[in-house]
Amino acid sequence: MSDSLVAVVDLDLPGPTISRHVYGHFAEHLGRCIYGGFYVGEDSDLPHEGGIRLDVVEALRAVAIPNLRWPGGCFADDYHWRDGIGPREDRPRMVNSHWGDVVEDNSFGTHEFMHLCELLGADPYVSGNIGSGTVREMSEWVEYLTRGDDSPMASLRRSNGRDNPWRVPFWGLGNEAWGCGGSMRAEHFADLARQYATYVRNHGDNTVYKIAAGANGDDYAWTETLMKSLSCLGCSREPQSYFQGLSIHYYTMTGTWGVSKGSATEFDVEEYYVAMRRAHRMREIVAGHAAVMDCYDPKRRVGLVVDEWGTWWDVEPGTNPGFLYQQNTLRDALVASVHFDAFHDHADRVVMANIAQTVNVLQAMILTDPDSGALVLTPTYHVFEMNVGHHDAASLAVRVKGDVPTREVEGAQLPLLSASASTKDDTALISVSNLDAEEPRTVVLDLRGRDVTASSARVLTAATLQTHNTPEAPDAVAPVAHDGLRPHALGLELDLPAHSYVTVSLELG
């Protein structure tokens, strides 16, 4: 076993709060995410409420799902909300041209989504259509959802069975405007974002946090253009509040876009390290966008929203290539843990993140079998569950003494240890990932500033990096109590198995 590293955590020096919304989710009309995932219809033999699958709801409530983004994604800029309200038998059908070129019947629309959010206890994040929609269409959707008097849209909502308005705190101004959302130049979209945002109004006591469609990966020029469009960000008076958040999208893959993104389950150790290196790039990308935003917004009034992130592998053999159904291994769990450490470390700027996607698509939390109806929780799901203690907790810096072990990957040094920590209500949670595929490691946790009265640990790992959960082996990758935690003169000593994710829970005096 390698020599111990020492990680210093000052328990009495809380930093910026880690928003629970960093643990947000994304549900697009794509493959079997909505239809066959969340929504099985009112004729299903599976337990449901209004067609919404209840075991999916129960699983997501167990990880305290904070928000859900819908209806896309690329689908959002083809979606016209009036097609998804009223009696289901009267709703027009539409072509989902982005994902499988399939025809869908709009049986899951605004009311069904809002009912889903109510069942989940999650805040709705609605993505509005700028690509093919109109200003009036978006403005009326906000009114339909959130206005309480006898306005035209509130009356229309009541005619469709909902008396009281809903609370919709998050609103997306378009999606990937640089690509599927309209193939726009940044300057053009910046003007549209200002225009549309003007008509996304607050109704009653519903205050909308507006999020402009942001950059692809490390396109910092896109972010700079949008930040420049907000008047007077650097001056003493308040800036124009056209939007309060700015998004970025970044996916982890080991192949090449348009050729092969890499297999979800058939990969060797070298490809694993490539995935870890590319996942680690999220830290660099967030830091780069934050630096640009700091130039125009030093008071950090505008939040960074990473509303699409995760792994993107080749689809499972034999499945529809437009449905983006992929398996989820221990490697995916470690990709998630690396991302969360990056988000925690930038809690002063990152206000929300949404994994892509929640059910049956890309780096899903949940997989459902289309034949048997069986539900499987993925390794990624368990990282979310193990991290619930970070929700709305104050971040704590983790400082490693000495050199963190690294491995050269694609011409860069990949740190093989990743960690973050937080504190809340006389507790603390420390998350540590050992990314070394083969070697275990020991870390001494030098805990300062407060007394630790109790401690425990859990570990997520498996015999191989390729291990994944199936209906036949649903707990092949699942967290268990970890006995590799013991007292040390500085605090605690923690054993980290190879390719593992460990959380340490502390009770503080």
CATH assignment, 18-390: 3.20.20.80
pLDDT score, position 3: 64
CB contact at 8 A, 360 and 67? no
Taken in order 505, 460, 268, 251, the sign of the CA dihedral is negative
**Does residue 391 or residue 258 have the better pLDDT?**
391
Task: Tell me the catalytic residues.
Answer: 176, 308
pLDDT above 50 for 1: no
- pLDDT tier for residue 259 given thresholds of 50, 70 and 90: confident
> Mind listing the pLDDT tens digit for each residue in 414-470?
999 999 999 999 999 999 999 999 999 999 999 999 999 999 999 999 999 999 999
- Count Cβ atoms within 10 A of the Cβ of residue 277 and give its class: 0-12 exposed, 13-18 middle, 19 or more buried: buried
Mean pLDDT lowest among 17-21, 71-75, 174-178, 233-237: 233-237
pLDDT at position 369 over 70: yes
Q: Confidence band (pLDDT; 50, 70, 90) for 241?
A: confident
pLDDT at 130: 98
Q: DSSP string covering 192-255, please?
A: HHHHHHHHS--BTTB--EEEEEEEETT-HHHHHHHHHTSTTTTSSSPPP-S-SEEEEEEEE-SS
Task: Give residue 236's pLDDT.
Answer: 52
pLDDT score recorded for residue 114: 98
**What percent of the chain shows pLDDT beyond 70?**
97
Cα angle 274, 444, 404; round to 5:
30
**pLDDT reading at 231 higher than 80:** no
Task: Name beta bridge partners: 423.
Answer: 394, 428
Residue 352 Cα distances to 184, 302, 329, 344, 432, angstroms: 24, 12, 25, 11, 21
pLDDT exceeds cutoff 80 at 237: no
The dihedral region occupied by 470, where left means phi > 0, alpha psi between -120 and 50, and beta the remainder, is beta
Give pLDDT, residue 240. 61
Note whether 146 and 127 are within 8 A (CB).
no
> What single DSSP character describes residue 449?
S
CA dist 77 and 87 (Å) reads: 23
Beta bridge partners of 415: 406
Which residue shows structure tokens 């979800």?
Answer: 264
What is d(CA 63, CA 23) in angstroms, rounded to the nearest whole number? 9
Q: Per-residue pLDDT averaged across 48-67, rounded?
A: 98
| Residue scoring higher pLDDT (109 or 236) | 109
Averaged over 201-228, what is the pLDDT? 97
Over 80: is that where the pLDDT of 353 sits?
A: yes
The candidate with the shortest Cα–Cα distance to 69, out of 252, 308, 344, is 308
Alpha-carbon distances, residue 28 vs 72, 125, 140, 354, 364 (angstroms): 4, 12, 22, 12, 12
Q: Which of 188, 82, 95, 68 is nearest to 129 (CA)?
A: 82
Alpha carbons 21 and 303: distance in angstroms, whole number: 12
Query: Which pLDDT band, with edges at 50, 70 and 90, does 217 fall under?
Result: very high
Q: Provide, rounded to the nearest whole percent, the portion of the chain with pLDDT above 90.
A: 95
Positions of CATH 3.20.20.80 in the chain = 18-390
Per-residue pLDDT, averaged over 68-85, amounts to: 97
Mean pLDDT of 385-414: 96
> How much is the average pLDDT of 231-242?
60
**Do the bridges between strand 452-460 and strand 500-508 make them parallel or antiparallel, or are there none, so unpaired?**
antiparallel
Residue 79 φ then ψ, to 5°: -95, 130
Radius of gyration for the chain, computed over Cα atoms and rounded to the nearest angstrom:
23
Per-residue CA distances from 250 to 178, 353, 355 (Å)? 14, 11, 10
Could you tell me the pLDDT band of residue 238, with boundaries at 50, 70 and 90?
low
Token pair belonging to 465: 């990096």
Least confident of 211-215, 232-236, 351-355: 232-236
CATH 1.10.10.10 describes domain 5-11+396-508: no
Span(s) in the chain for CATH 2.60.40.1180: 5-11+396-508
Measured in whole angstroms, the distance separating CA 82 from the mean position of its chain's CA atoms is 27
Kind plus residue range of the DSSP H or E element containing 17: strand 17-18
Q: Which residues have CB under 8 Å from 483's CB, separation 6+?
A: none
Residue 117 has pLDDT above 50, yes or no: yes
pLDDT 10s digits, 305-348: 999 999 999 999 999 999 999 999 999 999 999 999 999 999 99
| Position 294 pLDDT exceeds 70 | yes
Question: Residue 256: which pLDDT band, with cuts at 50, 70 and 90?
Answer: confident
What's the pLDDT score for residue 233? 53
pLDDT above 60: residue 98: yes
The chain-wide mean pLDDT, for the chain, equals: 96
Residue with tokens 């959010």: 117
